[in-house]
Amino acid sequence: MKKVFLVLALLLTLSSESEAQLLHDIRADSILAPRGKTPIGWSVTLQARFTNVGSSNEANVGVTCIVKNWAGIEYRDTEWVATWNSGQTVDVTFVPFTPLANGPDEICAL
């Protein structure tokens, strides 16, 4: 009985570690800019880091940055990456954003 249990446990461990890599898979890694507080009425650069974790090279991929406040979406921009190799990380700079009111904003990259 112990031998069967050990083999089953080993098989479960091996199967959970071997995840299949998707063919097309772009991951948003982090927001690079801005960091911290931004002054009202001043244009700020928005920048995010993305990685092609898929198994294929990509071409003409759109990535988007959205800024939301308490009232909803106040900024949205999509930039295009012309060529993107599998495993490559790309830092994308978006059109500048100008905050017009006090309060917290949520920045999302997708």
Q: What is the reported pLDDT for 11?
A: 34
pLDDT tens for 19-37 read 567 888 999 999 999 988 8
CA distance 64 to 12: 38
CA distance 54 to 61: 13
CB 44 within 8 A of CB 81: no
Confidence of residue 6 (pLDDT cuts 50, 70, 90): very low
CA distances from 31 to 3, 23, 49 (A): 49, 25, 6
What mean pLDDT comes out for the span 83-90?
95
- Percent of the chain at pLDDT > 70 equals 82
- Residue 85 has phi, psi (to 5 degrees) of -75, 155
pLDDT tens for 45-78 read 999 999 999 999 999 999 999 999 888 999 999 9
